[in-house]
Structure 1
Amino acid sequence: MTVMTTQRLFVSGRVQGVGYRDYATRQARALGVTGWVRNTRDGRVEMLVSGDDEALQRFVEACRSGPPLARVDTIEAQPDNEERSARGFTKRFTA
């Protein structure tokens, strides 16, 4: 049985206005990770992601690189218990 994990990620660096959310969406869909991504008013990108441990690890590693114009300084990951009922991976408006 596969155990699903949910994490909230905060990505800092040059991650807004460089296609980071589109990049994260493509990576998530390719890896079978569900959740959402959005910009925050403080310049970071926030994501709520769910998947098996291996898929999440691969997703976070991909997010450390980001698209060509991005510069990722840090990714803060914290376990999250938010109920996940949505399927797929979506972009949300800035929070």
Structure 2
Amino acid sequence: MNVALSVTPGLCQSATNQYSISGMLSLTNAVAGTATLTDGVNTTTLSVSAGATSVPYSLSGLISGTGHTRSPSAIRGRPPAPLIPHRPPVQ
């Protein structure tokens, strides 16, 4: 199974210094199960249907001004996908 991740950052909320990201988890030869996306602090779990080619996601509560790397963790015991570095939006 192949996995790719697209990332779109949201606007930084100046009151909390936090922002969210959203995007698509793109899959090839997907099996039914779950996928967990995390930056090491914030986590979201996605339901994946057998044969799915993409699954939308969002991850909130990211702190602006710090670098984040997102990576899907193992999907049904398969190795994780490559890390995808991302810089947060500038206030």
TM interval, shorter chain, is 0.3 to 0.5
Higher strand share: 2
Comparing both chains, which one has the higher relative contact order based on Cα–Cα distances under 8 Å and sequence gaps of 6 or more? Answer: 1
> Structure 2 length as normaliser, TM-score?
0.41
- Give TM-score, length-normalised by structure 1: 0.40
Of the two, which has the highest radius of gyration? Answer: 2
